[in-house]
Amino acid sequence: MSGSGEREQRREVSVGHLALLMALVIGLAAFSILLIWLSVLDIRAGRDAMNAFFQFIMGLAGLALAGKSLADMTRMRLSSGEKPVEVVSVIQCVDCGHSAERNFSDGEYVGMLTGERCPECGGPVYVARIYVKGGGEERRQRRILGLPAAA
């Protein structure tokens, strides 16, 4: 299905949006690291332990937030990379059983004589199977469960 909806979903995460988010995340991470570094300096110098402690905590929280945002962003990119599915018809010869796979064309159904001729024996040809290739959901779940890619 190459529906317009697939395109719609992709538009949701535009390049500009992503770049802005990325810049913010990098800025946050840099600031957090700076805070942590300053707090370490303060503690080393024995100055104002209270302040340094808070700086340290703030820095850690900032880093965690940046990490989380980054994880969210990669997931966003993954989900937007959803490919339009490809529907195929397997056509089979009525007489000799010779079969071939090709793109589905509108109006075809399982059991329909297509009017084409078998390249092997010239017999009539019908649609034996119609299905989509891929199975992205399955593969994702197998990955989550740590199983090999194919059953």
Partner 1 sequence: MMARAAWGLSSFLLQQGGGDTWLNWIIMLLFLGVMNYYAGKLQVQVWMNDIMRALGQLERYTSEAENSLIEEASRFGLSRQELSKRVRGFKSFFEIAPVTLDPAGAIRRLEHILDVERDRFKRFVRSIAPNADDDKLMNLTDQLAGVIMLDRVYRIVRHYFLLGKKTQNLIYIAQIQMMIPEILRIAKAYWKSADAFRKGVPVGDSVGPLVALRLLDGAQTREIAEDVIYGEVDVGGRRVLVVKSKGPGGRLGKPGEAIGRLVDMFGGRIRAIIMVDAAAKLEGEETGEVAEGVGAAIGDPGPEKWKIEEVAARAGIDLISFAVKMSPLEALTPMTREVDSAADEVISRIRERIESDYRPGDVVIVAGIGNTVGVGNEIPRGGRGDSDVGVRREGAAS
Residues within the interface to partner 1 (CB under 8 A)? 1, 3-5, 8, 48-51, 53-54, 85, 87, 94-96, 104, 106-113, 115, 123-124, 126, 128-135, 137-138, 141, 145, 151
What's the chain's length in residues?
A: 151
Contact call for residues 83 and 132 (beta carbons, < 8 A):
no
Chosen from partner 1, Zn ion, none, partner binding at 137 (C-beta under 5 to 8 Å by type): partner 1
Using DSSP's 3-state secondary structure scheme, residue 117 falls into strand
Note the Cα 55 to chain centre separation in Å. 37
- Per rule CB under 5 A, count of chain residues that contact Zn ion: 8
Among the listed residues 120, 129, 141, 143, the single contact to Zn ion using CB under 5 A: 120
Per-residue tokens: 62? 């900032």
* Residues numbered 44-103 forming contacts with Zn ion, rule: CB under 5 A: 93, 95-96, 98
CA-nearest of 70, 78, 72 to 24 is 70
| Residues in contact with Zn ion by the rule CB under 5 A | 93, 95-96, 98, 118, 120-121, 123
